[in-house]
Structure 1
Amino acid sequence: MANVGIVIISHSEKVADGVKDILEQAVGQVTVESAGGTEDGEIGTSLEKIQGAIENVHSAQGTVVFYDLGSAKMNAEIAIEMLELENVHLAEAPVLEGAYLAAVEASMGSALDEVVKALEKEFK
């Protein structure tokens, strides 16, 4: 059974990849994908990278998406709408701390609603 997937969106490819590395090393059994920077390696966000990352980790268990700045949120919202997937949650939590908490919850087999409740409890 697949766990809840996690997507990290950042304007910096290095930041997104770094958060992914931390989650994989610190938590272990976690399904995480990074979508940082633009296709040409510049600072910014890419709708195509975001869509691909969500598709790569999405399962029936759902997906939690984290973002760093406003345009990343906007592109994430567009990607989620275009993909027409169910069980995708755009997290209102700090990228690293929120993703870490979500990864821990997901690694324990928590359902998407339990992951979201843990994030809301910690970061609201």
Structure 2
Amino acid sequence: MIGIVLVSHSRKITDGTKEMIEEMSGINGSVRIISAGGTGDGRLGTNAIMIMEAIESLAACNHILVFCDIGSAILSSETAIELIEDEYLMRKIELMDCPLVEGAFAAAVQATVCQEKEAILQELAQL
């Protein structure tokens, strides 16, 4: 299974992106998506602890792809990854360098076809 974490300053952006991907891609249990936008208390911003917990909740996945929008979403995601102590989990995580919505959508669709991380990354390289 592929895990996807969506990170933005706005929970509305990540919730909406998650909803769109799940509805449009026909995810069949091969992908789990976690919305980790906002600060966790309704404000705009990012929260490294919340992102870390989202990643940890996907520990059963074979690969975990983290998609961010801008600025501190990337920095908070990097911090979240650094906070993870489980080395086995760390090896599963990849911070993606592509657009949040388009990248997460393309990754989810590709993951329904093929669970190989390299195939997903190849698809994302075409964005």
> Percent identical across equivalent pairs?
38
What residue in structure 2 maps to residue 100 of structure 1?
105
Q: How many residues align?
A: 120
What residue in structure 1 maps to residue 14 of structure 2?
16
Q: Which runs of 5+ in 2 are unaligned?
A: none
What residue in structure 1 maps to residue 78 of structure 2?
77
What residue in structure 1 maps to residue 42 of structure 2?
41
What residue in structure 2 maps to residue 63 of structure 1?
64
**Amino acid in the other structure paired with 1:14:** K
What residue in structure 1 maps to residue 115 of structure 2?
110
With normalisation by structure 1, the TM-score equals: 0.89
Q: Which runs of 5+ in 1 are unaligned?
A: none
Q: Which deviates more, 9-18 or 83-92?
A: 83-92
Task: Using the TM superposition, give the Cα deviation of residue 102 of structure 1 relative to its aligned residue in structure 2, in angstroms.
Answer: 0.3
What residue in structure 2 maps to residue 25 of structure 1?
23
Task: Using the TM superposition, give the Cα deviation of residue 60 of structure 1 relative to its aligned residue in structure 2, in angstroms.
Answer: 4.8
What residue in structure 2 maps to residue 88 of structure 1?
93
Give the 3-state SS of the residue equivalent to 1:58 in structure 2: coil
After superposition, the CA RMSD in angstroms is 1.4
Distance in 1 separating the partners of 2:15 and 2:91: 25
With normalisation by structure 2, the TM-score equals: 0.87
Give the 3-state SS of the residue equivalent to 2:119 in structure 1: helix
Cα separation, partners in 2 of 1:59 and 1:114, compared to 1, 3 Å: farther
Give the 3-state SS of the residue equivalent to 1:57 in structure 2: coil
Write the deviation string for residues 91-124 of structure 1: whole angstroms up to 9, x where unpaired: 111111100100011112321222122212x13x
Give the 3-state SS of the residue equivalent to 1:63 in structure 2: strand
